[in-house]
Structure 1
Amino acid sequence: MKHIFSLFSLLFIFLLQSTPTSAQSPAVAPASPGPTNLTAILEKARQFTTFIRLLQTTKVADQIDTQLDTSNQGLTIFAPTDNAFSNLKPGTLNSFTDEQKVELIQFHVVPSFFSPSQFQTVSNPLRTQAGGSEGAFPLNVTANGSQVNITTGVTNATLANSVYSDNQLAVYQVDQVLLPLIFFQSPPPAPAPLKSKKATSSPDSSSGTDDGSPSDSSGENCLSKNQFFAFISSIVLVLLALS
């Protein structure tokens, strides 16, 4: 009996191991990551409150997120910290128009992806999203070893560290707000109105008088005639006296 019981036990164990368990749930595939969100990246870093606010009020954040979601074109963002905005001269941001605020934020966005090592060989000036005419928004980046400097003609900033990078979007912390040179240049003076050229005549012109009216020589003619008649009259009188 013991042998029979052992045989049945072994058979039962074999059947349990060879039969698939239907209650086991299938493996869940990992959720695909959502589109890159620049605002969320900056919020996680916790020192870009002012930059985030300007990104949102100017709608540049929406443009960046749409571009990252629909295009393979890379972007590089130079993100000033809250301390960088605090270092601005009081009233600087309020002195900018709404259009200038848009250009200011776009000036911090380069429409190409740059890794830290690529700053060693970058061609200056960098083209930014601010666009404009050539030379209106110069942005020059130079690297000396591990130190990366950014100049605008107004601002000299240093790239502090990398906040985010995924081979499409690079976000770098900068210690100064990048101010465009064109914001602080005086506009060129308006050209002077052209003076209309009026026909003038010289005072001694024989064709007119000093006030521009035609000269009248009848007075000279009349004077010569009067002198002539006076001369004739004097001769007549002389002859009468002699007769």
Structure 2
Amino acid sequence: MASTSNTILLASLLLLLLQTNAQTTPSAPAPAGPSGPVNLTAILEKNGQFTTFLRLLNTTQVGNQIPIQLNSSSEGMTVFAPTDNAFQNLKSGALNDLSVQQQVQLVLYHVAPKFYSLSNLLLVPNPVRTQATGQDGGAYGLNFTGQGNQVNVSTGVVETPINNPLAQTFPLAVYQVDKVLLPEELFGTPAPGAAPGARPRGVSGGDTDSTVDSQPAGPTAAPNGAGGRNLGRGFGLAVGLGMLCFLGALF
């Protein structure tokens, strides 16, 4: 009886030891997941032709805000990245003429607060809202057209095809564009000037009306009128004296 009890006790201890050993043995590594948050800067640096856009992302602090928004949003994000050549083709001083706030709006105009694949961009209703929308009350929308695999983006000032997807996995899509997307709110076409040849009245320059208006009519007409009146009075006085002489001769 004692031997049976000892056997049961030993079996219980052996089972407990095996369970404890199983709990302390390291488990097999889990399948590797994402290495970390999506890194827009790394995507652009890898390509090597977005130096100016990266600098603007840094100086405007937009580059620091994008990862925060990606981690807090379920909609994802889409970035349209202009190449260095795109910036070089801008009018000289175009960026320097912008205030700090306008530079922020320009960068935000290249970011849509939702993930769009190329096929989505052909289906989404225009205009598509960007991150610049609402910064100063402007619309700051983008319009997309095209067919098949060809998608064009238009701002109302410039239009360019979307050529090269740099990243297209949720939550971040990044597309290369060969022109800087210039919003109408900042780079709209200036209003047309006055029609050529039109001059204000009274300004010299060969205009017939202005020549007539610049000559005073009063002084030239007044002497002629006064002379006419004096001549009329003198003629009437001579006629009157002649009549008196004629009557005097009769009587």
- CA distance in structure 2 between the partners assigned to 1:25 and 1:72 by the alignment: 35
- Misfit runs of 4+, over 6 Å: none
Matches within 5 A, 1:1-243: 27-29=28-30, 32=33, 33-132=35-134, 136-185=139-188
Percent identity, aligned pairs only?
54
Give the alignment's Cα RMSD to 1 decimal: 2.1
- Conserved 8 A contact 1:78-1:172: yes
Give the letter aligned to residue 73 of structure 1.
E
- CA distance in structure 1 between the partners assigned to 2:55 and 2:137 by the alignment: 29
Q: Which moved more, 1:148-157 or 1:24-33?
A: 24-33
- CA distance in structure 1 between the partners assigned to 2:95 and 2:169 by the alignment: 31
Q: Could you list the runs of 5+ residues in structure 2 that have no partner in the other structure?
A: 1-24, 192-251
- Conserved 8 A contact 1:76-1:109: yes
Which digits, 9 at most, give the CA deviation of each residue in 1:146-188, with x for residues without a partner?
211111111111101100022211000011000011113469x
Shift of 1:138: 3.1
- CA distance in structure 2 between the partners assigned to 1:67 and 1:143 by the alignment: 29
- CA distance in structure 1 between the partners assigned to 2:138 and 2:97 by the alignment: 23
SS at match of 2:167: strand
- CA distance in structure 1 between the partners assigned to 2:156 and 2:138 by the alignment: 11
- CA distance in structure 2 between the partners assigned to 1:152 and 1:67 by the alignment: 24
How many pairs align?
Answer: 164
SS at match of 1:150: strand
- CA distance in structure 2 between the partners assigned to 1:99 and 1:140 by the alignment: 23
Taking structure 1 as the reference length, the TM-score comes to 0.62
Shift of 1:27: 4.3
SS at match of 2:129: coil
Shift of 1:71: 2.4
Corresponding residue for residue 19 of structure 2: none
- CA distance in structure 1 between the partners assigned to 2:27 and 2:123 by the alignment: 51
- CA distance in structure 2 between the partners assigned to 1:36 and 1:153 by the alignment: 31
Q: Could you list the runs of 5+ residues in structure 1 that have no partner in the other structure?
A: 1-23, 188-243
Shift of 1:134: 6.8
SS at match of 2:166: strand
SS at match of 2:141: coil
Corresponding residue for residue 196 of structure 1: none
Corresponding residue for residue 215 of structure 2: none
SS at match of 1:178: coil
Shift of 1:126: 0.5
Give the letter aligned to residue 167 of structure 1.
F
- CA distance in structure 2 between the partners assigned to 1:125 and 1:85 by the alignment: 24
